[in-house]
Structure formats: C-alpha cells, structure tokens
Amino acid sequence: MTVGDYTIDIFVDRAFSPNDSVHKYDYTYFDQTDSYCSTIIGIELYEEENLQKAGVIGAGGGATGIYNTSFVFDNNRIVICCSDSVFCLSIPDLSLLWKTKADMATCFEIYKYKSDYIIHGELEITRLGHDGEIIWQQSGADIFTGPFVIADDYILATDWDNKEYKFDFDGDSVS
C-alpha cells in the first residue's frame, strides 16, 4: 500500500529466524517476556522501489494474520495488531513509538476513532489513546467471534453464543 511518498509491505514472516531470515530487518521489536511469538510480522518501507527500512514485530497470545482491518495508518505512523498486542511504529524510520497488550488472547482488528483506536479482541474490546494507553476495556461472557460493528454512537460486539454487547465510546454498556 502507498502512504505518502512510501510503499509499505506488511506480511506475516513465517520464515523468521534471528540468525538467518529471508528478510533482513533494521529493527526487531519483540517483548523480552515473550518466550514464544505466535505471530511475527515484517514491515518493509520502500521509496521509489528502493527498500529504505525494514522492521519486524512479534508477540505472544493467539496467532493473527494481516487483513485490511488489522492495521491503520495514522499520519506518520502505522498502528498494527500482532497477537495479543498493538504496536505503533513511526513512518518512515519504523522506530517503535509504543506497544500495548490490548487483549489477553488475540487482537483481531483495529479502527481509528477520533484520535484514539478501538481494538476488537478475542476476549476484550479496548479503546487505546493516541499514546497507546488503555482508556477502557470491556469483555463478555464468551469470546468475541461474531460480527463487530462501529456505528455512529455505539460499538456492537457479538460473542460465540451470539450474545450482543453494545458499548458507547466511553466504554459504558448501552441498550
């Protein structure tokens, strides 16, 4: 995808190894407490087809893929779901601005809301501030695997048993 003057390639790097990787990275961002990373995502930034920077992120928790709702570009940064965490990297240098564990299991999707972010997780719906701080989190009786909708005045999440949960943007339940 194109962001400003740059083309950015985001991919799950299943071949990653710290010593011998198919892709060469300028930066590696793994949590020191993660003894195992269930998902490793490579990010390569190109300018006029020339690779300028490359970084790799990884986290524990459930495995995630790359979909059009698993990341957002926000001015000069990319905010991306990776397993149980959300990473924010600057563009174009790909330096880590912050990382937040936003779900106990897996972060499925991220949406921009005003200057913040709404995270659809497996166990929690989370609102993160622009700085990565958790503003609020809500969970349900079961995992959130059903439809997820952000409407004008509420967030709708559906769990495994098709029970619907409606939250306002302050994290309060609404009917």
- Which pLDDT does position 33 carry in this prediction? 63
Inform me whether the pLDDT recorded for 35 exceeds 80: no
- Which pLDDT does position 12 carry in this prediction? 96
DSSP string, 44-98: EEEETTEEEEEEEEEE-SS-----TTSEEE-SSEEEEEETTEEEEEETTT--EEE
Which two three-digit tokens encode residue 54? 């490359």
Three-class secondary structure of residue 36 per DSSP: coil
CATH of 2-143, one of 3.90.550.10, 2.60.120.260, 3.40.50.1860, 2.40.128.630: 2.40.128.630
Write down the domain spans for the chain.
2-143
Report pLDDT digits (tens) over 52-105. Answer: 999 999 999 899 999 999 999 999 999 999 999 999 999 999 999 999 999 999
Q: What is the mean pLDDT of residues 31-37?
A: 69
Higher pLDDT, 31 or 34: 31
Per-chain mean pLDDT for the chain: 94
Say what the pTM is. Answer: 0.95
- Which pLDDT does position 167 carry in this prediction? 97
Report pLDDT digits (tens) over 45-60. Answer: 999 999 999 999 999 9
Residues in the chain: 175
